[in-house]
Amino acid sequence: MLLAIDVGNTHTVVGLFEATELVADWRISTSPAQTIDELAVVYRVLLDGAGRSLSGLEGMAVSSVVPSLTAEYRSVGERWCGKEPLIIDHRAVPYLPVKNHDPASVGADRLVNAVAAIETYGTPVVVVDLGTATTLDVIDAGGAYAGGVIAPGIATSANALFQKGARLARVEIVKPERVVGRSTEESIQAGVFLGAVGAVDTLVDLVREEMGFPAGVPVVATGGLASALASASRTITQVDETLTLRGIRVIWERARG
């Protein structure tokens, strides 16, 4: 069994693979201060609930954008599997050309998404990851990571609005029934949600134009809000909620030779 772990700034997504099959997956809160022992408790509970145990793990692969947790997961993997886990960075994907000026600066999650998107959808392809940040990852026709876009995520933007607006109460960010809100709540939902949709669609249009992509290039959305936003988007062609976990598995399999 492989434990594939994507450590994000807000949530950590975990997948348990038996060969190529994803048999269980979870989304838990990321806590940068967690210790090895605390992580062990969390994962024992998750695996027990799936009828599995830590002793059955063959390996662990980790994509992390939280440096304080990367070292903890390295130690956890050594304790559980008896060997160092695969910690993914640009060196783990030598078969993926990275055109950024500094390949080491590209987040592990973005490399993982690129590998999974190429494997599943071919090239060229654009990945829209809707998390703490909204990112676009662009893979060109030759299969190289061409670069991308980083913008504030939907929840991040909404939280900034609530913090700065003294009279604006927190509301659930969902797809609104109308653009012109008839209450403060409806107005915030329209502005934040539809504003995010408009931003993604505009950025995808600009990427297509700049890269010379054909109109039918796959635009794959992943992340916590992917399904909701895709339902209102005119450019997203596919929702793939397990894209990142599958990418981690592919990289792990290739690293094993």
- H-run or E-run covering 149: strand 145-152
List for the chain the helix, strand, coil content (%; round to 5). 40, 25, 35
Q: Is residue 6 within 8 Å of 16, Cβ to Cβ?
A: no
Give helix 36-49 / helix 67-81 axis angle, nearest 10°: 60
CA neighbor of 152 nearest in space, from 248, 31, 9 = 9
What's the Cα-to-Cα distance from 99 to each of 38, 144, 231, rounded to whole Å?
Answer: 38, 7, 32
CA neighbor of 152 nearest in space, from 125, 127, 132 = 132
Residue 58 CB contacts under 8 Å (≥ 6 apart), including other chains: 1, 2, 81
Phi, psi of 116 (to 5 degrees): -65, -40
Residue 50 to residue 28: CA distance in whole angstroms:
15
What's the Cα-to-Cα distance from 238 to each of 55, 68, 230, rounded to whole Å?
Answer: 37, 33, 8
Q: Which residues are catalytic?
A: 109
